[in-house]
Structure 1
Amino acid sequence: MSVSDPTIFELGESEALRRAISHFKPGSHTLVPSGDDAAVIRSEGKYVVTTDTMVQGRDFRLDLSSARQLGMKAVATNLADVVAMGAKPTAIVVALVVPESTKVSWLEEFAQGLQSGIDSLFPGCEVVGGDLAAGDQVVIAVTAHGELEADPVLRSGARVGDQVVVAGTLGRAAAGLDLLLAPDPTLAAAYPEWVSIQLAPNPPLQTGLELAALASSMLDISDGLSTDAARIAKASGVTLKLRSSSLLGYEAVLELAAQSMTARGFSANERDWVLNGGEDHSFLATVPAGTKLPVGCKVIGEVVAQETSAVLLDDQPLSPKGWDSIRS
């Protein structure tokens, strides 16, 4: 056995899990924490449940993401979905598949990333359990729970006359991914902020909850503005008209990174990042016109027609070209 840093195979499931669980903090919603066949979570009424899976080679690469970053990203992607429904995150469970050769130090670092993500995004939420198994590649599956204090905010509530609103950033995670994948490593080193958002997103959950309290419809922008706007349009049976002029600010902060890539012969376009790049995990909502918005929210368009289920950029159709977890 490698005494200083054993693999999970050398240590065994029980001891490996014990070491990982030691990094988690207790939460106020948990009556029975990890250790039994199932956790018990306190709920005063309605709650939401969501799940998301990250697969090595399709959703992340181990040569680009540290174990800590993967833990933080797993938290961010799931808690954003909970908040998009108008719920406060309370608990998550994590199922993890790793090769037998995985060092226990990697597992502990991943657990630290989970806790760090919770601490920075929504303190009080808790990892209450999960599963550890051996396999050929790393697979991370998280199920998150949240408590609703009012009716859930659905994708199907948009109405003609509503404003289209974004809370958070657009395009930064997509820029970070292209910078990371470029063969010239100096590009990623030159723009660490965008790379960081790709590897460990930091969605504005508190702002998202404030926006949800006002919204007629809402979702987490995980797959790109064009794709997720089309989901609201389809679910609500309306047309969303986005204004290109309202997206210029999102594009401006990415312009230099795009220019740096094109100067080195790589394809990059800041508008494409903003329209079609996902993983910032910001929030897209429709809100009745005239509503005073929370700080950090920006109006980017309006709902203009009923029963057409389309998205326009100015007056031109905007096709959904974001991430597709099966086809991409």
Structure 2
Amino acid sequence: MPTEAPTVADLDEKSLLARIFPRLGTPIALLGPGDDAAVIAAEDGRTVISIDTLVQDADFRLLWPSGYRTSGFDVGWKCAAQNLSDINAMGAVPTSLVVSLTLPGSTEVAWVEDLADGLAAAIHVLGATECSVVGGDLGRGREIVVTAAVTGSLQGRTPVLRSGARPGDIVAVDGSLGRAAGGLAVLESHEDYAALIADPTAENLALLELATSQCRPRPPLASGPRAAESGATAMLDISDGLVRDAGRIASASGVAIELNAAAVARHAEPLRAAASRLGADPLDWVLGGGEDHGLLACFPADSELPAGFELIGEVRDGAGVTVGGQSPQTIGWDHFGG
């Protein structure tokens, strides 16, 4: 008979950590794991810091209605990506991650090792070359919760805030829009994920690619510092939807943002076939879908946009966000539904 896979309840904390940290590579830190805290260099005396959490059945499902099983690699990758993206949105470069894991005793050790692999892979593939996991915490609970705090260096630059946009600025975006939302729709649908893999038609492959965008987003990490150096007046990462996050810049800056309807439609068009199959409107994905973790930034009107950015709107006097002069019906994600 096959032996059961070991779970975290079969190990003590020291043994589990011994399974995790070798998979994360050598920490880039003055002092890494092993003491009560890590020590990170602050190049210019300032540290940018952020924190984010992934909660089972709120931010991911272990088993989706489509039949897709979320791997530890997926969760590790997404944890890294969303935290690195927050540092990027300040115009900074990520320097360290500390990760807290809350795990049910029934969690397989292999799943946790896979999570460590996903963290390491995302840091490497996304290009966070000055960042590593330098410590963390383990705890036991009823569901999987992954929380990471990330630090970053401004490298002498002024941080780009949400509050600097001015009437007359142009609004630009770098990264994908709507793809992660489309992927969430695929995972939540009753499309048979295994059948999509078994029948790799162009249409099925498109659905699989969207699902990957949800599980393993690719924020454009080189673009935050590049935007800061190009004079960005305001910036944030698009985590809760284009309209909601544009509204955050508008509110913080005391301005209105007009999104160009034709530019929004260009992002929606490649998603149209998948949306039609799933009974969705691709414009809803583009306007309200988050988790692609692209960048939304404002620049002075006469600016040459840095590589990767494309014009998507303009800043005006007033308040709120409009699309083609109209108030959008799709707003975006809010954890508490307000």
TM-score range, shorter chain: over 0.9
1:220 counterpart = 2:237: yes
Q: Structure 1 residue 246: deviation in Å?
A: 1.0
Tell me the residue number matched to 1:11: 11
Q: CA deviation at 1:188?
A: 6.1
The one-letter code of the counterpart of 1:313 is: V
SS at match of 1:209: helix
Hey, what does 1:310 align to over in structure 2? Answer: 320
What are the Cα deviations for residues 82-134 of structure 1, in whole angstroms up to 9, with x where unaligned?
01011100000000101011121111110011000101111231000000111
- In structure 2, do the counterparts of structure 1 residues 293 and 27 end up closer, same or farther at CA, with 3 Å as the change threshold? farther
Matching residue of 2:268: 251
- 1:300 has 2:312 as partner: yes
SS at match of 1:43: coil
Aligned amino acid, residue 253 of structure 1:
P
TM (normalized to structure 1)?
A: 0.93
Structure-1 separation of matches of 2:107 and 2:322: 47
* Alignment length (residue pairs): 319
Q: CA RMSD in A?
A: 1.7
Q: Shift of residue 318 of structure 1?
A: 3.1
> Can you list the C-alpha shifts for 1:223-250, whole angstroms capped at 9, x where unaligned?
0001000000000000001110111221
Contact conserved, 1:179 with 1:188, CA < 8 A, in 2? no
Aligned to 2:39: 40
Matched with 2:24 is 24
- Determine whether 1:133 maps to 2:144: no
- Dislocated runs of 4+, deviation >3 Å: 2-5, 186-189
Q: State the distance in 2 between where 1:203 and 1:55 align.
A: 21
Deviations 1:231-270 (A, max 9, x none): 00000000001110111221111011012223xxxxx010
Q: Counterpart of 2:85 in structure 1: which amino acid?
A: A
- Could you tell me which of 168, 176, 182 is aligned with 2:183? 176
Q: What is the distance in 2 between the residues matched to 1:207 and 1:152? A: 14
| Aligned equivalent of 2:296, options 284, 287, 295 | 284
What code does the residue aligned with 1:247 have? V
Is 2:100 the partner of 1:95?
Answer: yes
2-structure distance, mates of 1:69, 1:137: 16
The percentage of aligned residue pairs carrying the same residue is 44
Q: Distance in 1 between matches of 2:4 and 2:48?
A: 42
| Aligned-partner Cα distance in 1 for 2:92–2:33 | 23
* Cα separation, 2, equivalents of 1:228 and 1:319: 15
Aligned-partner Cα distance in 1 for 2:278–2:329: 25
Choose from 73, 77, 80 the match for 1:68.
73
- Secondary structure of the 1:39 match is coil
Q: Deviation of residue 323 (structure 1)?
A: 0.8
Shift, 1:11, TM fit: 1.1
My pick for the range that moved more, 44-53 or 216-225, is 44-53
Question: Alpha-carbon deviation of 1:319?
Answer: 5.6
Partner-residue secondary structure (3-state), 2:57:
coil
1:120 aligns with 2:125: yes
Question: Residue 148 of structure 1 is aligned with which of 154, 165, 188?
Answer: 154
The amino acid of 1:65's aligned partner reads T
Question: Matches of 2:91 and 2:15 in 1, distance apart?
Answer: 38
> Which deviates the most, 167-176 or 289-298?
289-298
Retained in 1: the 8 A contact 2:90–2:224?
Answer: no
Distance in 1 between residues matched to 2:42 and 2:72, nearest whole Å: 31
Q: Where do 1:98-109 residues align within 5 Å? A: 98-109=103-114
Q: TM-score scaled by structure 2?
A: 0.91
- Range with greater deviation from structure 2 (174-183 or 3-12): 3-12
Letter matched to residue 311 of structure 1: V
Whole-angstrom CA distance in 2 between matches of 1:3 and 1:33: 36
Listed one character per residue, the Cα deviations across residues 261-307 of structure 1 (whole Å, up to 9, x for unaligned) are 23xxxxx01000000000000000101112111222110110011xx
User: Paired residue for 1:204, among 192, 201, 220?
Assistant: 220
Q: 1:273 maps to which residue?
A: 285
Listed one character per residue, the Cα deviations across residues 28-79 of structure 1 (whole Å, up to 9, x for unaligned) are 4x01111111001111121100000111111000124210010000000000
Mapped contact 1:219–1:284 kept (Cα < 8 A): yes
SS at match of 1:111: helix
Matched-pair contact (CA < 8 Å) for 1:176–1:188: no
Give how far 1:197 is off: 0.6
The DSSP-based 3-state class of the residue aligned with 1:317 is coil
Partner secondary structure for residue 336 of structure 2:
coil
Q: 1:220·1:283 contact (CA, 8 Å) conserved in 2?
A: yes
